[in-house]
A and B are shown apart, each in its own frame.
Chain A
Amino acid sequence: MTKDAYIAANRFGLGASASEMKIIDRAPKDWLRKQVSQSTLSSELSNISSGLKSTVDIITASGDLRNLDNDAKKKLVKQSRDIYLQEMQNRVTNAVVTDAPFVERLALFWSNHFTVSIRGKPFLTSIAGSYEREAIRPHIFGKFSDMLLAVVQHPSMLTYLDNKSSVGPTSKLGQRRDKGLNENLAREILELHTLGVNGGYTQDDVISLAKIITGWTIKPPKMPGEAGFWYFSRMHEPGAHRLLGKSYSEKGQKQGIEALTDLAHHPSTARFIATKLVRHFVSDDPPAQAVKAIERVFIQSGGDLKAVSLALIELPQIWQRPLTKFKTPYEFVISSLRLFDAGNNDVDLDKIIKSLTLLDHAPYTALSPAGWDDSEDAWLSPNALMNRVEWCHAVAQSVAYPGNPLELAQNTIGPVANADTLLWISRAPSGRDGVGLLLASPAFQRR
């Protein structure tokens, strides 16, 4: 077992069982590259029993929310909740069984980068999962600009950051009614999705971008045609708008597509995305050289995320110092299940969802549009660590007995675990306590 195998499985992936580690150990980098080149969308993810797979289906089935009586409302809330649970279960199952955990890590990264959260937005409960499947996953190895456009035109994002009701003040609708701009989405596109807070934009740019994307909304149920994203010209603020020194002439929806495409290719965006990726895969303090390397690939490839993902594999900084990152609760829970080689039928999904809630990392529940924090400081507190330790102990008591804990440790975290960890795992009063200790150990809690 080599350190490189540990790094491929954990720093890029979501952990591995002892038998999978043996496979990875043959050629760790090839194992990663293959995931990028052979990536397909997993069938686990769209296994929805209600048949409501797409956002369009779900919104259509919900009907006109304004005309619901109490019974219908209750039914809809329950249906939304059911869809949400099933989406979570599919996502968790896929993460546990996938042979391409690097792809899954990238999906988690991008989904977090373009966060939508159901907190305070009950309408999103049913369409947070489909958002990730439709706007994020298809573009993980595509163009960043395409992902950005898919995100900003998705009903979930238009709802989450309020753009669906933003009206151009001098648009037809704006003149007729007392309605106006909502700058929420425009600000977060600039601050969180593209340039970054120090990326060189002003409040005037926020307002311009808000005007440019007025009319990007969701089709009201009364209007004919397919549900979902809808460009409504009567809401759109007419005229040319100046963004970052460039004037975008009136072209309807195309005005927004042009502006967003330019933002996606802006040098500040390349820097911002590279910094976040390196922080995620290398360390909380992203090394400047690694950031530069990724930034260069991002710029030279025109934001080709396949090239960027492959460049991550080649970063020497990832391979040099393992255990610099403290796993998020989601990564930790998933990697625990992968350690035990849990198959489709071995995972008690209810319990896992409850665990993720207990550890404060249930999918699509981030506290803000900035998404989950990607630093040890945010996840490692006395209370959070104690929760994890208790969880490790409880899980070790309940899993099918996985054999000699020392052997399991040696074959999974062996290359990076310190002598103390292995010593005390071997001395644990029971095999189950040994397994619990393995899960709680620094070499397993970190990556």
Chain B
Amino acid sequence: MAMKEEDIMNDAKAGEGITECCEGNLSRRRFIQGSMILATSSLIFPGLAMAKARTDKRLVVVILRGGMDGLAAVVPFGDKSYAALRGDLALSPDSVRRISEMFGLHPVFENMHDMYQKGELSVVHATATPYRQRSHFDAQNVLELGSKAPNDFKDGWMNRLVRAIDNRDNKLALAIGQTKPLILRGDSPSGSWAPSALPDTGDDFMELVARVYQNDPAMKRNFNDALMIQDQTSHMMEGENDKKLARQSRSGQGFVTMAGIAGKWLSEPDGPRLATLELGGWDTHAQQGTEGGRLANNLSLLDKGMGALKESMGAAWDKTVVIAMTEFGRTAKPNGDRGTDHGTAGAVFLAGGMVKGGRVICEWPGLKEGDLYQGRDLNPTIDLRSITKGVLNDLYGLSPSTLNSDIYPGSETARSMTGLLRI
């Protein structure tokens, strides 16, 4: 394919503004740099002229993938049917961290128990999305879209939230992780970040790449977002060993590392205000354990991650809400393998200085045979969207009608909960 002479001429013109002051012969390399800086800077920092004051509220959504067993995380030991129903998987009332006559947190929840006692953590129990089948993938789709049914919308609910808060602020939302979860995907800007173990690439090369991506809208947008995030985070990452972080982030304790980094960035004045974290490993079909074991290890990871997040956020914790949620709960009865199968209702955690905590919020459905959903699962009594709507209403002043039209269309029946946060 022949090169087009007019492209080269256009580039020459684009570079004029910067290069005219330089003397003598311009090397080709200098020329490219000059034109590139001009061409890409306006693309990389479209938000420079942003006038609106940024919100100082922080919202972190932790997606627990695989279906967390809510009855193991927040144990209803006070329900008379609990011990018999759970059989081998029942935790003794003495082993749990009691928070009321009815409920206890799992014994590994050290940090979260501390938050609860300080009034910074609430549990909403017996809650579920409107999805009533048992596919992980459809259930996560509904959780992240904020929809009634799978694939109802193209974009995730946090992406729509970005649009409602400030669509021009491309530093507003950041996914901490290797990929961007569905909850953040859509037309509004958001970034994604994970520590990189690859050597740094010089600016020259980056500028060439930006050039080559000009005609590929999706790659152009993601690349510009990535450059913007690098620019934004470079001073925060000073003194950190990227390679070491990259290794840690992929280890068994990776969630704790990532949560710590998330907190650090969220605490920065020009850092993100919305962030997502993800933790998998909840699909405990076999040998899930009780006080210890596979599920306890994962719950401990969640607890340590929450602790790391709080610690690294410092004073910004007071302006923060963390929502930790999963796609569905698990069967109330153990299956034949000392595990649990895909169920319906489960527990959601709300944490952070903004949370009016120290409470278990629920309309407890009971655990008697007849109380269970389809005779097998904890019965959902609260629509999960009622919780997130309540948080968004309190945190951003988004009215119920705005929430119904812009963030969760078709959610009128899931009334916004009130009084979840301190405002």
Residues of A close to B223: CB separation below 8 A: 382, 385-386, 389
Contact indicator per residue, chain A 386-424, by CB within 8 Å of chain B (1) or not (0): 110111011000000000000000100010011111111
CB of B378, distance to nearest CB on chain A (Å) = 16
Q: Given A162-B339, A384-B192, A422-B1, does the pair A182, B285 have CB atoms closer than 8 Å?
A: yes
CA distance in complex: A50, B250 (Å): 28
Q: For this complex, into which size category does the number of interface residues on chain B fall?
A: 35 or more
Interface segment, one of A83-91, A293-301, A434-442: A434-442
Contact A419 B7 (CB under 8 A): yes
Interface segment, one of A39-47, A221-229, A371-379: A371-379
CA distance in complex: A121, B249 (Å): 19
Indicate if B293 sits at the interface (CB-CB under 8 A): no
CB of B281, distance to nearest CB on chain A (Å) = 6
**Contact pick for B212, options A119, A358, A437, CB 8 Å:** A437
Question: Which positions 166-200 of chain B face chain A at CB distance < 8 Å?
Answer: 175, 177-180, 182, 185, 191-194, 196-200
CB of A418, distance to nearest CB on chain B (Å) = 5
Which residue of chain A has the shortest Cβ distance to B202 in the bound complex? Answer: A393
Contact B336 A197 (CB under 8 A): no
Indicate if B12 sits at the interface (CB-CB under 8 A): no
Indicate if A17 sits at the interface (CB-CB under 8 A): no
Residues of B close to A387: CB separation below 8 A: 196, 198
Contact indicator per residue, chain B 193-227, by CB within 8 Å of chain A (1) or not (0): 11011111100111011011111101100110111
CB of A207, distance to nearest CB on chain B (Å) = 10
Contact B201 A390 (CB under 8 A): yes
Contact A419 B337 (CB under 8 A): no
Which residue of chain A has the shortest Cβ distance to B137 in the bound complex? Answer: A370
Contact A165 B337 (CB under 8 A): yes
Contact B29 A429 (CB under 8 A): yes
Q: How many residues of A are in contact with the other chain, CB < 8 A?
A: 67
Contact A428 B208 (CB under 8 A): yes
Indicate if B111 sits at the interface (CB-CB under 8 A): no
Indicate if A174 sits at the interface (CB-CB under 8 A): yes
Residues of B close to A161: CB separation below 8 A: 285
CB of B51, distance to nearest CB on chain A (Å) = 25
CA distance in complex: A360, B339 (Å): 29
Contact B7 A197 (CB under 8 A): no
Residues of A close to B214: CB separation below 8 A: 420
CA distance in complex: A119, B201 (Å): 31
Q: Given A389-B206, A433-B208, does the pair A357, B335 have CB atoms closer than 8 Å?
A: no
Residues of B close to A427: CB separation below 8 A: 28, 32, 208
CA distance in complex: A294, B196 (Å): 41
Q: Given A382-B229, A423-B7, A427-B28, does the pair A174, B336 have CB atoms closer than 8 Å?
A: yes
Most A-side CB within 10 Å, residue of B185, B193, B218: B218
Which residue of chain A has the shortest Cβ distance to B342 in the bound complex? Answer: A187
CA distance in complex: A387, B197 (Å): 9
Residues of A close to B205: CB separation below 8 A: 389, 393, 433, 436-437
Which residue of chain B has the shortest Cβ distance to A441 in the bound complex? Answer: B212
CA distance in complex: A406, B351 (Å): 55
Indicate if B52 sits at the interface (CB-CB under 8 A): no
CB of A166, distance to nearest CB on chain B (Å) = 6
Residues of B close to A178: CB separation below 8 A: 87-88
CA distance in complex: A79, B23 (Å): 65
Indicate if B69 sits at the interface (CB-CB under 8 A): no
Contact B226 A370 (CB under 8 A): no
Contact B218 A358 (CB under 8 A): no
CA distance in complex: A419, B4 (Å): 8
Contact indicator per residue, chain A 136-178, by CB within 8 Å of chain B (1) or not (0): 0000000000000000000000000110011101000010001
Indicate if B163 sits at the interface (CB-CB under 8 A): no
CA distance in complex: A144, B307 (Å): 49
Residues of B close to A174: CB separation below 8 A: 336
Contact A420 B212 (CB under 8 A): yes
Which residue of chain B has the shortest Cβ distance to A442 in the bound complex? Answer: B216
Which residue of chain A has the shortest Cβ distance to B7 in the bound complex? Answer: A423
Residues of A close to B66: CB separation below 8 A: 368
Residues of A close to B218: CB separation below 8 A: 326, 376, 380
Residues of B close to A368: CB separation below 8 A: 65-66, 136-137, 280, 283
CB of B322, distance to nearest CB on chain A (Å) = 21
Contact A419 B179 (CB under 8 A): no
CA distance in complex: A197, B151 (Å): 12
Q: Given A166-B336, A418-B215, does the pair A182, B341 have CB atoms closer than 8 Å?
A: yes
Contact A182 B286 (CB under 8 A): yes
CB of B79, distance to nearest CB on chain A (Å) = 22
Residues of B close to A104: CB separation below 8 A: none
Indicate if A445 sits at the interface (CB-CB under 8 A): yes
CB of B232, distance to nearest CB on chain A (Å) = 11
Contact A417 B1 (CB under 8 A): yes
CB of A13, distance to nearest CB on chain B (Å) = 22
CB of B318, distance to nearest CB on chain A (Å) = 29
Q: Given A162-B339, A389-B201, does the pair A384, B178 have CB atoms closer than 8 Å?
A: yes
CA distance in complex: A162, B252 (Å): 22
Q: Given A389-B223, A418-B215, does the pair A182, B339 have CB atoms closer than 8 Å?
A: yes
Contact indicator per residue, chain A 166-201, by CB within 8 Å of chain B (1) or not (0): 110100001000111111100100010000010000
A interface list, Cβ under 8 A from B: 119-120, 161-162, 165-167, 169, 174, 178-184, 187, 191, 197, 203, 206, 326, 357-358, 360, 367-368, 370, 376-387, 389-391, 393-394, 410, 414, 417-429, 433, 436-437, 440-442, 445
24 A/B residue pairs, CB under 8 Å, sorted by A: A166-B336, A166-B337, A174-B336, A179-B336, A180-B335, A183-B335, A183-B341, A187-B135, A367-B280, A368-B65, A368-B66, A381-B179, A382-B191, A383-B191, A384-B178, A389-B209, A390-B200, A393-B201, A422-B1, A424-B208, A427-B32, A429-B32, A433-B205, A437-B212
B interface list, Cβ under 8 A from A: 1, 3-4, 7-8, 28-29, 32, 65-66, 87-88, 133-138, 150, 175, 177-180, 182, 185, 191-194, 196-201, 204-206, 208-209, 211-216, 218-219, 222-223, 225-227, 229-230, 246, 250, 280-281, 283, 285-286, 335-337, 339, 341-342, 374
Known: A167-B337, A368-B280, A382-B193. 20 other contacts (CB 8 A): A119-B281, A162-B286, A165-B337, A178-B87, A178-B88, A182-B336, A183-B341, A184-B285, A184-B286, A197-B133, A206-B134, A358-B198, A381-B180, A383-B194, A389-B223, A390-B196, A390-B200, A394-B199, A423-B4, A424-B211
- When A and B form their complex, which 6 residue pairs have the shortest distance between CB atoms, in order from nearest? A180-B336, A382-B226, A381-B180, A390-B198, A386-B226, A382-B225
